Structure 1
Amino acid sequence: MGHHAFPPRRRRPRDRDRALASLFVVPTVGYVAALILGPVVLAVAYAVSDVTVADPTFDWAGLAGIERVLTDAVFWRALLNTCIITAATTLLAVVGGNVVARLMLARVYGRWLVRLCVLLPWVTPVTVSSVAWLWMLDSVYSPLDWAGRQLGLLGAGESVNWLGRPSTAMASVVAVQAWRLTPLTAVIIMAGLVAIPRNIYEAARVDGAGRWLRTRFMTVPLTAPIVAVAGLFCAVFTFSDMAVVRVLTNGGPTHSTEVLATLAFRRGIDGGDVAQGAAVALFLLPVLLAATLTILGLVRRMVAR
């Protein structure tokens, strides 16, 4: 019985396209992986050493540096402050972003100017905006205090030490962070609102559904995933940010606004203890990773519904 020779199977154009796409993606994935893994590996290496600015030689120290961090009361205070500031900022930015997104979609004359003004806090360099807020919250020359005196909220010559008291300093940091991130959430949420087909609203209106019912059973479920993603961006940016706290309070008064990023900078750069700074910074990764996976899991469940 003779053997039949079958012609070699030709690769379909779709397979070739996928292979070509994968080839183009590899450099980008490699670059991002190196960008992320490089600092992490370096931080781990420094955290298990005793490297300082005065003595840069690498000597193995094991987990002694991490144990010092875990027994430091300032570290736990900074971790708690970081979580509080992140949670409060994310909540305010998401709520404010929902309101601003609807204002940006309103059909009014000069809508482009409104959108431009809304985006200014986000596009302005964070150090520039933080310095501006530092002046606005000054204990002597604050225009907020002047406005309060003009409105009768403060007595003559009375001023609020916005950044000098723990409670007002924390509130000021949260307010500035929320002011800076609200435009970002507004743009993301606005994109989600625009993507909702208008015909389903028209159909619901014809069926007698009022504004409240349409918002509750249509707008909220359809925009919930995009709102969660906006909240994730806010949480990541706030949790890892140090510029606002560094400029406004530098972690004071008495570590009441100290966050992990400023503590790592203070120990590693200002204090010259590179190993301690790396050990503190290393704790940013697991917390951010856990929060990201949790929020993405919630988004996946929302989409599956």
Structure 2
Amino acid sequence: MANSAIEMPAGLTKGRSERSAWQKLCSSRNWLGFWYMVPAAGILILFLGYPLFLGVWLSFTDTKIGRAGEFIGLENYEWLGGDSVFWMSVFNTLLYTVVASVAKFAIGLYLALLLNKHLPFKALIRALVLIPFIVPTVLSAIAFWWIYDSQFSIISWSLRQLGWIDHNINFLGDPWNARWSTIFANVWRGVPFIAITLLAGLQTVSPSLYEAATLDGATNWQRFRHITYPLLTPIIAVVMTFSVLFTFTDFQLIWALTRGGPVNATHLMATLSYQRAIIAGQLGEGAAISTAMIPFLLAAIGIAWYGLQTRKWQQGGSND
């Protein structure tokens, strides 16, 4: 009896400790966040992870539309290594991404700083700034297609009326004109996203910081350099990461506006992949082009992640 009396509390204690550990696991802040993320992670794996894995696998096969392929190793990548059109698409994608992202950031930051001031009809102006972003991409492309039309372009007509040119500009027929035209269209669509996001970040900066800096005799540039920019840096890192990813993988605007022409001058890696895989039916080759985009995207994400992890970025430039 004495032994059983001693053993029973031990068993109860063990059960209580197990329940306590489980309760701690369920109620821990870190694990609680994990449980909330599980459903979203499952959806992402199902709808993003599986297609990504399938695309990578197809890049190692000679699959065509209507015919199952066989494993051919790196042949698709070896073929792309000698394909001048593919390398032109890589150049176009990098040029398109770098120039458009820099322009969107510069204009978006300027608009955010402007909209953060006390302006009349500020709410209306903020709503108008969002219009390019909320208009469907295809409608924007059609509008720019008319603006860039070689015969009826409003830009060419206006410049001719001013006497600055004597003939219409061939916006989409000349390779370099077409590149700059598509970049401008992308900038027009992407600026509102960056401007509104940075404006939200500016709203979190305490006005007392600016007041103290003003009392110390700081100029507008000094207030921006030592207060605004350091506090916005984490937000800038996130918003520019999204901007680079969206720009690098852009498909709709280019395809609706130029179809990659003229003579492949505006083909991005995304549009070339679609052309080879869906239109030409070479699924393996198109998948290889898409897979070749992954290192660039991982590099952009890695740079942003590294920046967000450093104390210099998170604490507004402080190394202490």
TM bin (shorter chain): over 0.9
1:209-261 Cα offsets, whole Å, 9 max, x none, are 22221111111211122122221111100100111111222112222211101
Q: Which amino acid aligns with 1:197?
A: S
Of 121, 124, 147, the match for 1:113? 124
Give the AA of the match of 1:24: Y
Distance 1:254 1:218, change over 3 A: same
Distance across 1 between alignment mates of 2:57 and 2:114: 49
The answer on 1:33 being equivalent to 2:45 is: yes
2:191 maps to amino acid: T
Structure 2 letter corresponding to 1:291: A
| Alignment correspondent of 1:125 | 136
1:93 to 93, 104, 111: 104
Match of 1:192 in 2: 201
Match 1:79 to one of 90, 102, 110 = 90
Match of 1:49 in 2: 61
State the 1:15 CA deviation: 4.7
> Aligned ranges for residues 109-258 of structure 1 at < 5 Å?
109-155=120-166, 158-258=167-267
Whole-Å separation in 2 of the counterparts to 1:213 and 1:294:
27
- Give how far 1:17 is off: 2.9
Matched position secondary structure for 1:57: coil
Q: Give the whole-Å Cα distance in 2 for the aligned partners of 1:210 and 1:46.
A: 58
Distance in 2 between residues matched to 1:262 and 1:272, nearest whole Å: 14
CA offsets 1:102-122 (integer angstroms, 9 cap, x no match): 222232222121111110111
**Residue identity matched to 2:54:** L
Q: What is the distance in 2 between the residues matched to 1:24 and 1:42?
A: 27
Question: Contact between 1:81 and 1:258, CA under 8 Å: does it hold in 2?
Answer: yes
SS at structure 1 position matched to 2:20? coil
Identical aligned residues as a percent: 31
Deviations 1:111-163 (A, max 9, x none): 121111110111111111111101111000111111112222223xx110011
The 3 A distance-change label for structure 1 pair 295 and 22 is closer
Query: 1:162 is aligned with what amino acid?
Result: F
Counterpart Cα distance in 2 of 1:262 and 1:110: 41
- Residue 36 of structure 1: how far off its partner (Å): 2.3
How far apart in 2 are the matches of 1:150 and 1:105? Answer: 38
CA distance in 1, matches of 2:234, 2:32: 32
Helix, strand or coil for the counterpart of 2:34? helix
Which deviates further from its counterpart, 77-86 or 217-226?
Answer: 217-226
Please state if 1:65 is matched with 2:76. Answer: yes
Pairwise CA RMSD of aligned residues?
2.1
| Residue type at the aligned position of 2:224 | T
Aligned-partner Cα distance in 2 for 1:49–1:210: 61
AA in 1 matched with 2:270 = A
